[in-house]
Chains A and B, each alone.
Chain A
Amino acid sequence: MAPFIFFGIFFYLPIGKISTQGLSGAFWSDLTSHRTLSALWFTVWQATVSAGLSCAIAIPLAYFLYRTTFSGYRTFRALISVPFVLPNIVVAISMKAIFPGATGAIYIILANIFMNYGMATRLIGNAWKSLDSQCESAAALDGAGRLRTAISISLPQLRKSIASAFLLIFVYCAANFGIVLTLGTPRTRTLETEIYSAATYDLDFKRASSLVGLQILLAILILTAARFVTLRPASDTRQRSFPRRLDLRDLPVIIYSIACFTLLFLTPVLTLIARAFRHNFQWSTSNFTLLNSTQTQSLLNISFGSAAFNSVRNCLVVLLLSLAIGGLCSYLLTKVRIAEIFFLLPLALSSVILGYGYLETYGSGIFPLRSSWLVLPIAQSLVVIPLVIRFLLPALTDINKEIIESAKLDQADQFVIWWRIQMPLVRRTLLIAASYAVITSIGDFGAANFLAYGDQATLPVVLYQLISKPGAYNYGMAMAASSILIVVCGAIIYISEL
């Protein structure tokens, strides 16, 4: 019951409130207006192109990193995963580091690729690794070259994995609010930025609500599509192929991978770090010392350090809430196979909508949620809980039923079974879910932009304030703060990978 109440109060009530506002207005004419259709079109095509290119770039990389072995492949794998965990806004700032005036569709797509090709490589690579290699060996024996084997034997078997990687990245690219807001122009509008500008600039709440309704429809569509293609995670019992050592015949893929790595990882990251050390046209660390202040003209409400504190504090609350409630939901869903979409819907809805919904619903009355700092972690955990469920549910259903049955015979009650048997078995999955919770909470900009103001600002909010205002100081500080975040994220990923 508890999860239903939590979702009811903190998700369906605000979402319901803002979407019914839309229905009472000119829902249909809002949706068929040229503005809406062009935003919908841009959302879909930029996400399609970005996800498509990310997957295409990732396929040879997946082969290189998951089918062959060489010294340092773990480091390589870890490094290309870094951009995916970076806050959206830091990815956008990396683009601004290479192209200072970057705005427009091309940069949005570049930023999306920079962020997601590593994830695509990982998803496709893991599937490729667990592919039965007998077919491939047979083809090789019959004289098929490696490229030919990959194209006609491996890729068809990987079709479903590639499709599910594509869908996942499509969802991420469709909901990359921070990137579009930072790198966008008046022409590059997505559904999210439309909702944001309708609500905060035009104050046209009816239209904002109609757009929310449209996004809910789109979300349901994507979730349904995802159900069709998503593979069950490969179980460990299947025979695995062993990666072989690199040899000279792999030269093209080696060159390709190194080129990708240089262009898509080293260039943006190193440029960003170099810019962080440039101040008044000379090398210095002043950008970093400025981070201690609220900028020279005190543009910021709080310093970088206090924002980092807020981010970490929120993140801990999110972690607690999402693991507790996500765990409970998953547990419930193993008992009764209903209402999965009830808990999964927030996944495909943006946090922008949640932020806006909270502002509308909890902005007055006896329940002062909006003015409490807890409002942001609650909103963020609603986006995280579906992720937790997606990870935890398959792991829980995979647990051997016999163990539980025999525990029941031994008079163990529900709680003991959960705590002593199920929990330890899914510990690894829980850790993965927890790391996603951290990434999502720290990187969230959509909800934070609505709900975290003044001394409650989080890192992405402060970074956006810096990068959206022209001026050398702001630019330098944004670069410095972003490079710190990249190094920290890189270190975390590196440690967890080894």
Chain B
Amino acid sequence: MSYKALAAVFIVIALIGFAAIYTTGKTKPKDVTLITHDSFVMSKTQVQDFDKKTGYTLHLIKAGDAGALVNRLILTKTMPIADAVFGIDNTFAGKAEANGLIAGKLTPTDFGDVCMNYDKTWFAAHHVAPPTSIDQLTAPAYKGLTVVEDPNLSSTGLSFLATTVEKYGANYVQYWKALNANRLKVDNGWENAYYTDFSGSSGHGKYPIVLSYASSPADEIRSNGVSETASIMDGCFKQTEYVGVLKGARNPTAAQAVIDYLLAPAFQQTFPSTMYMYPIDMTQPIPSSWKTAAPLPGKTYGDNLDFNHDEKTWLAAWSAIFG
């Protein structure tokens, strides 16, 4: 065997290689991919139901939290890894639009409120009136009682920082300085704050006030049918989640079918029980425990902010106080 023959063999192998890459790299026309954050839940039966009704084959990709999801889409936007996206919320919508990720508009699918929760038993036992507004958290009566999440690391934490920006305007810096002086505890994630440091949940921690969700008290209903916790109604952030077709999607028609499926009543009904969010379609039934223990706050914050533009400034100001 000579060099020439060897070279020929390599050329053939290389051609096979390129052909393999080409065929495995292409998707089938009936495939549709939905990329979501990690908290998205769509059961196997729902996926099969979708496939049967539409004739497409649905694939799901979970890409971390909402921030990681948007970044992954930006990194791959020249050749999107999915056709539709679920889970971009109002804190990231600006970034998604500024980077041209979405074809058309984002459609809201569900919403929830980030609220301070307090431990009712603790306040009763210590004869302290529970706070009714986040304004009071800087008062001496509530010194060393509150635990929140780091806004640099947690979307819940970032929502609360944004609430203070919208509620207090430029004075938000003073508010956080006062919170810091009032011995605020900062955790790196929601699980740590809620399950470990909060006194009203399974961890029985030391802090009777925690940054969580308006729906959380529904999960703390004890055997007597009454929730151990309640929300502070003034100072809640409204988080809305969206679904959209990705620009450059290989199958935009199928992507639209996915969106329609997520907005149909059958799927909308599952939001409270699987993702702890309210369906955007308010005609859908809500669990009765939510009605009694987790009422929606009247006024919420979060709709008048430009996250994409200002978030870095807020985080820098926050980190200067807590860094």
Contacts and interface: CB of A to CB of B under 8 A. Distances in A.
Interface in A298-316: 298-301
Nearest to A300: B62
A199 interface: yes
Interface string B38-65: 1101010000000000000001111100
Interface in A348-380: 359, 363-365, 367-375
B75 interface: yes
A370 B59 CA distance: 17
A413 B25 contact: no
A455 B59 CA distance: 8
A301 B24 contact: no
A364 B41 contact: no
Given A2-B14, A373-B24, A364 B79 contact: yes
Given A203-B75, A371-B81, A453 B61 contact: yes
Contacts of A300: 62
B71 to A, nearest CB: 5
Contact of A470 (B3, B26, B75, B192): B192
Contact of A370 (B63, B74, B79): B79
Contacts of A465: 38
A368 B25 CA distance: 5
Nearest to B44: A298
A89 B200 CA distance: 35
B61 A469 contact: no
Interface in B138-195: 189, 191-192
A413 B1 CA distance: 7
Contact of B79 (A201, A368, A471): A368
A1 B8 CA distance: 12
Most chain B CB inside 10 Å of its own CB: which residue of A2, A201, A373: A2
B25 A453 contact: no
A297 interface: yes
Interface in A406-420: 413-416
Contact of B61 (A298, A367, A454, A470): A454
Contacts of A371: 25-27, 79, 81
Contacts of A298: 41, 43
B24 A374 contact: yes
B189 A470 contact: yes
B20 interface: yes
Contact of B75 (A359, A375, A416, A471): A359
**Contact-size category for B:** 35 or more
Contacts of A368: 21-22, 25-26, 79
A447 B81 CA distance: 17
A297 B76 contact: no
Contact of A199 (B21, B33, B75): B75
Nearest to B40: A298
A374 B63 CA distance: 20
Nearest to B43: A298
B59 A364 contact: no
A68 B79 CA distance: 60
A5 B21 CA distance: 16
A413 B2 contact: yes
A301 B27 contact: no
B63 A453 contact: yes
Given A364-B78, A368-B26, A201 B41 contact: no
A203 B189 contact: no
B76 A359 contact: yes
A200 interface: yes
A301 B6 contact: no
Contacts of B6: 415
Nearest to B248: A364
B10 interface: yes
B129 interface: no
A416 B5 CA distance: 13
Contacts of A375: 21
B320 interface: no
A301 B79 contact: no
A304 to B, nearest CB: 15
B68 interface: yes
B14 A415 contact: no
Contacts of A363: 75-76, 78-79
Contact of B20 (A199, A297, A374): A374
A372 B21 contact: yes
Given A2-B14, A363-B78, A369 B25 contact: yes
Interface string A190-224: 00000000011101000000000000000000000
A369 B81 CA distance: 12
A200 B39 CA distance: 20
Interface string A387-431: 000000000000000000000000001111000000000000000
Contacts of B24: 372-374
A414 B68 contact: no
A455 B24 CA distance: 14
Interface in B230-272: none
A200 B27 contact: no
B282 to A, nearest CB: 25
B191 A471 contact: yes
A369 B24 CA distance: 9
B125 interface: no
Contacts of B27: 371
A453 B10 contact: no
Contacts of A301: 60-62
A244 to B, nearest CB: 52
A77 to B, nearest CB: 39
A469 B33 contact: no
A367 B24 CA distance: 11
Given A200-B72, A364-B79, A365-B79, 7 more contacts: A2-B7, A203-B74, A301-B61, A301-B62, A364-B78, A414-B3, A415-B6
Pick the 4 closest A-B CB pairs, nearest first. Answer: A368-B25, A372-B25, A364-B78, A454-B61
Interface of A: 1-2, 5, 199-201, 203, 297-301, 359, 363-365, 367-375, 413-416, 453-455, 465, 469-471
19 contacts: A1-B7, A1-B10, A5-B14, A201-B71, A203-B75, A297-B39, A301-B60, A301-B61, A363-B79, A365-B79, A371-B27, A372-B21, A374-B25, A413-B1, A453-B61, A454-B60, A455-B61, A469-B38, A470-B192
